[in-house]
Amino acid sequence: MTSPQSDPAPQPPQGPSHGHTHAHSHGPAAPVSRHLRKVIAAVLIPFATAVVVGLIAFWPGGAPDHERTGVGFDRQTQDGRVVKVVKVDCADVNAAQVPPTGDTSTPSGREAVNEQEGECAKATVEVTSGDDKGRRFVEVVQPDAPRQLKEGQGVVVAYAPDAPRDLQYSVTDVNRKVPMALLAGIFALAVVLVGRMRGVMALVALAVSFAVLTLFILPAILQGSNPLVVAVIGASAIMLAALYLCHGVTARTSVAVVGTLISLLLIGLLGSLFIGWASLSGNTDDNTGLIHGLYPDIDMSGLLLAGVIIGSLGVLDDVTVTQTSAVWELHQADPRMGWKGLYRAGIRIGRDHIASVVNTLVLAYAGAALPLLLLFSIAQSSVGTVANSELVAEEIVRTLVGSIGLVASVPVTTVLAALVVSADRPGSGSAQAATAAPARTGRGRRRRK
């Protein structure tokens, strides 16, 4: 009984050393067995093939042409620059206006008084692009206008070819290209400096996402394709490109892809059900009204559902990747843990993630709809009245359907990752050696003492 214990005594420093190296040297990207890779490929290859076929079948080949209406965004625009601004008496430039009554108790009354008694700005604007480059026109800015012009400022000018020559051009917005481009450059630099190669791949994935959105999803919807089908195909293409570019072609990423896909299908089903049940038309403001007027064949409620799916995709990617990584790390820390233990530990992490992500999503939608909520607050409408209006009901359905999909993605992705990583047996002998190494190390230390 004593000889078996004394024979291996000189070897403990070597044995534990090898066992420890095997248990921790692979890191997060530990490979999975060939059998498991085949199973994952059997699921994802048909899905990726279907996405490619869908892209080809529904590829629009560009947005359809239409006769410009000159309304809202549907106007011809050029760049311009304010070359001179002079202050003038509003009565001199607003001679055609109806004389004010002097009643300043209403917004329209105060505006009429300002247009006659205030000091206006008379701006000379030069067109700096297009066929009429160098042409100048005068823009009168009222004293209570939200946007005041200043000399040297870049502006966007609208062109109305059918109007009289003196009225063909007008200032429609401020040119913000320089600050926006600078901000985008700072963002890209920060991502690359902190994320390094992962940051570069994230920017590439972002470019792919915008390409799919602008070259496929939007033109295909304008061509009359079903917005829901187009959104599902486009979102799937974005998901595959973004996840595999950022996180590599691994089993871990593949599990995140499957979890994201299941959650997107749930969001699509719930969104379709409740958008129809709540009779949401998707035509609620000037922009959607203009779209419907230009392209009456577009299914506006389907467009709303497509927006719900695409809007939820970005947050879903974050949740599924995080949950998958958490389960993989738990398995690396304790390879003996079964799938039930991995699921219980992973879901505890997921609960914290759910709380923060749902709150983020709700606040994001509330922030986007803040001016609308302010109008309801000014009108002193009840909560029920506000929630029942179609404008707010759309945001509520969008938020709640997206949040349900996010919440569901946590247990779905966690159980998938736990089943996959616990079913992986790339080398049973090595795994057993790694599991037994801590025990041998402890016995060796006790003998040395």
Instruction: Look up the pTM and report it.
Output: 0.71
CA 321 → CA 33, 192, 410, distances in Å? 21, 20, 10
Of the chain, the end-to-end C-alpha distance in Å amounts to 20
Report the alpha-carbon distance of residue 335 to residue 328 in Å, rounded: 10
| Alpha helices (H) in 215-338, listed in sequence order | 218-222, 227-247, 251-277, 286-294, 300-333
Residue of 154, 148, 80, 83 lying closest to 120 (CA atoms): 148
pLDDT of the residue at 7: 42
Please give the average pLDDT of every successive group of 10 residues along the chain, which has 449 residues: 41 40 39 69 87 91 62 75 88 58 53 64 89 89 83 89 83 90 95 91 92 90 85 91 87 89 91 88 75 77 86 84 90 86 89 78 72 70 73 82 89 91 60 41 44
Note the pLDDT of residue 23: 36
What is the reported pLDDT for 142?
83
Would you mind telling me the total number of residues written for the chain in this entry? Answer: 449
pLDDT for the residue 51: 92
Per the structure block, which two tokens stand in for 318? 């974050």
| Tokens standing for residue 138 | 């005068």
Report residue 269: phi and psi, to 5°.
Answer: -65, -45
Cα–Cα distance list, 123 to 91, 112, 177 (Å): 16, 21, 21
What is the rounded distance in angstroms from the CA atom of residue 33 to the CA atom of residue 35? 5
CA 163 – CA 48 distance, rounded (Å): 52
Q: Which strand ranges, in their side-by-side order, compose the sheet holding 76-89? A: 136-141, 119-127, 76-89, 154-159, 169-174
Q: Residue 350: which residues within 8 A CB-CB, separation 6 or more?
A: 319, 323, 326, 410, 411, 414
- C-alpha separations of 222 from 46, 59, 435 in Å: 28, 12, 59
Q: What is the DSSP string of 227-243?
A: HHHHHHHHHHHHHHHHH
C-alpha to C-alpha distance for 167 and 432, rounded to whole angstroms: 83
Alpha-carbon gap, residue 68 to 75, rounded angstroms? 7
Q: How far, CA to CA in Å, does 194 sit from each of 56, 113, 199, 203, 355?
A: 37, 55, 7, 13, 26
Positive or negative torsion for Cα 240, 246, 250, 253? negative
Strand-strand pairing, 136-141 and 169-174: unpaired
Yes or no: say if 430 and 30 are a contact pair by the CB < 8 Å rule: no
DSSP, collapsed to helix, strand or coil, labels residue 166 as helix
Assigned token pair, 197: 């190669």
Closest of 422, 410, 424, 46 to residue 262, by C-alpha? 410
| Count of beta carbons in the 10 Å neighbourhood of residue 425 | 11
Identify the pLDDT of residue 449: 42
**CA dist list (Å): 261 to 321, 374, 418:** 12, 37, 17
CA distance 258 to 255: 5
